[in-house]
């Protein structure tokens, strides 16, 4: 162990770190003790570690940059999502980080991203907070002793919230920065305590690296049925990826990030990062049970007895639980599966006009994949007073580095090669928009998804939506027929038609930016009116 420690210290010295206050690859209990003794966290009644992320309770997309270099120059889809920063400004920030590391006690973890050994990425995480290190320990893949001895990081995250940028001299947008240097294998994070930046920086990195190897990278959850059938669930935050993939009748591969190679599907992570808002034991028993000792709870309010109150959103609606995947009883380890037989695209339509489930052609599937639609609700963001459409290409625009067509082309090939069935599932509103209608009943959504994955909807009679062109099943076992066609659930049919045409128009307007280079059949697979 001392030889290994010397080896690690030697590598850290490459960053110019000369002091000895470095904690290497601590276990869960050691990190618990450090976080509590340093007053970084509280202990909840369920023994989860409860932390506050301070000023930032979510990601800072406008503060994320990629260093413009020879390879990234030609491969990255530059724009408002993938902002560039110069190598000169990167070096300025890196020197600030090195200076800070020399004055701090550090926590270092060597981990993997990618459950398939052929494509896994060895990573190193350097933190000033013990709880940040625990977060990464639980969310990434933990090497065994033999793997740890041979571990050589290809990417290193240095996350020091106390280090702040000077926008005037460092070329950043604010004091906060998340900077990816793809050629040097370095990720610098400063000015924010939100741990999700580390998780999503590695996801962004894999979204760059893997498609160059012909591997599809995906913002989706995945599970396996009793017959070995793999299913993928694409969706933005709050649409139900984690909830619907955590099913007692199916085994979980992962809840958020996956790759799809010529061998099948593999999880990028070794843990889950579940939303906690309104979490209940009755509605989501698997997630409820997974939150225990070893879990990091972000921005969750405790009552006076130390019991988590998941209904209290006084800090943020984006309360989160980070726990190792083995806390889910039916998780698959290693987190790999065969080629998917079904793909489910999830949306939470707050306008109440999309069907709760519909069958998609391949072209429709790629249209909705490129569109990546859900809705922002009133009150979830400053200035949002009524529902707004939110189009996030590939259901993960902030993390997609290449042009959307790169991912769509890979997905289209996979759908063809493996004859995959595709579905659009609306977990949002029915009977009217947000404020008038009500959220789709979760047991109905589960029943619809389960019947689709079981093949029970393959040959059921459908009706075509006249505006969106979607194929809506006329019946689904264990679901009332009257909820299947959204127009039937509205008391005011004219109001529905107006709302549906308005949303269809927003789909068509959004897609204009992707038409160049996109097959005509895909462009024509969107709404027919609007």
Catalytic residues: 59, 200, 219, 237, 241-242, 256, 320
User: For residue 510, is it left (φ>0), alpha (ψ between -120 and 50) or beta?
Assistant: alpha
In order of 111, 189, 244, 343, the CA distances from 255 in angstroms are 19, 24, 9, 14
Residue closest to 397 by CA, chosen among 154, 260, 204: 204
CB 123 within 8 A of CB 204: no
CA-to-CA distance for 171 and 173, rounded, in angstroms? 7
Rg (CA), the chain: 23
Terminus-to-terminus CA distance in the chain, angstroms? 66
CA-to-CA distance for 171 and 68, rounded, in angstroms? 13
DSSP state of 162: T
CA-to-CA distance for 152 and 14, rounded, in angstroms? 13
Element (H, E) at 110: strand 106-113
Phi, psi angles (nearest 5°) of residue 32: -60, -50
CA-to-CA distance for 413 and 415, rounded, in angstroms? 5
Reduced to 3 states (helix: H, G, I; strand: E, B; else coil), residue 3 is helix
Measured in whole angstroms, the distance separating CA 262 from the mean position of its chain's CA atoms is: 23
CB 154 within 8 A of CB 202: no
| Number of neighbouring beta carbons within 10 Å of residue 28 | 16
Give percent helix, percent strand, percent coil of the chain, each to the nearest 5: 35, 25, 45
């Amino acid at each position: 162990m001392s030889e290994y420690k010397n080896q690690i210290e030697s590598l850290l010295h490459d960053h110019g770190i000369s002091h000895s206050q470095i904690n290497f690859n601590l276990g869960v209990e050691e990190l618990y003790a450090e976080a509590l003794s340093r007053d970084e966290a509280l202990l909840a009644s369920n023994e989860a570690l409860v932390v506050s992320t301070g000023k930032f309770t979510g990601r800072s997309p406008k503060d994320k940059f990629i260093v413009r270099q020879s390879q990234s120059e030609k491969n990255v889809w530059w724009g408002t999502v993938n902002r560039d920063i110069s190598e000169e400004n990167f070096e300025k920030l890196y020197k600030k980080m090195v200076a800070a590391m020399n004055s701090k006690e550090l926590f270092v973890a060597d981990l993997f991203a990618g459950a398939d050994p052929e494509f896994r990425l060895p990573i190193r995480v350097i933190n000033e907070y013990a709880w940040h290190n625990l977060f990464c320990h639980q969310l990434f893949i933990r090497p065994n002793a033999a793997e740890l001895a041979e571990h050589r990081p290809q990417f290193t995250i240095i996350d020091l919230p106390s280090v702040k940028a000077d926008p005037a001299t460092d070329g950043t947008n604010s004091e906060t920065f998340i900077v990816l240097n793809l050629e040097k294998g370095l990720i610098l994070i400063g000015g924010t305590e939100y741990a999700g930046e580390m998780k999503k920086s590695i996801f962004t990195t894999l979204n760059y690296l893997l498609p160059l190897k012909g591997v599809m990278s995906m913002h989706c959850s995945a599970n396996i049925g009793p017959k070995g059938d793999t299913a993928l669930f694409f969706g933005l935050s709050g649409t139900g990826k984690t909830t619907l993939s955590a099913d007692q009748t199916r085994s979980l591969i992962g809840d958020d990030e996956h790759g799809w190679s010529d061998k099948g599907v593999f999880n990028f992570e070794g843990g889950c990062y579940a939303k906690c808002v309104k979490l209940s034991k009755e509605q989501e028993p698997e997630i409820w049970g997974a939150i225990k000792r070893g879990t990091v709870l972000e921005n969750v309010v405790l009552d006076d007895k130390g019991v988590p109150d998941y209904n209290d959103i006084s800090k943020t609606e984006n309360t989160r639980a980070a726990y190792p995947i083995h806390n889910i009883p039916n998780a698959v380890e290693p987190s790999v599966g065969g080629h998917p037989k079904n793909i489910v695209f999830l949306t939470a339509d707050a306008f109440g006009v999309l069907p709760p489930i519909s069958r998609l052609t391949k072209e429709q599937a790629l249209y909705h994949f490129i569109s990546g639609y859900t809705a922002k609700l009133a009150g979830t963001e400053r200035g949002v007073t009524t529902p707004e459409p939110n189009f996030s290409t590939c259901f993960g625009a902030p993390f997609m580095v290449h042009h959307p067509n790169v991912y769509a082309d890979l997905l289209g090939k996979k759908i063809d090669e493996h004859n995959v069935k595709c579905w659009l599932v609306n977990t949002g509103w029915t009977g009217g928009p947000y404020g008038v209608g009500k959220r789709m009943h979760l047991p109905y959504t589960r029943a619809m998804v389960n019947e689709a994955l079981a093949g029970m909807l393959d040959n059921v009679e459908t009706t075509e939506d006249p505006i969106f062109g979607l194929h809506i099943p006329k019946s689904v076992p264990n679901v009332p027929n009257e909820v299947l066609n959204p127009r039937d659930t509205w008391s005011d049919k004219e109001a529905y038609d107006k709302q549906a045409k308005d949303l269809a128009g927003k789909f068509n307007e959004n897609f204009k930016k992707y038409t160049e280079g996109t097959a005509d059949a895909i462009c024509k697979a969107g709404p027919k009116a609007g």
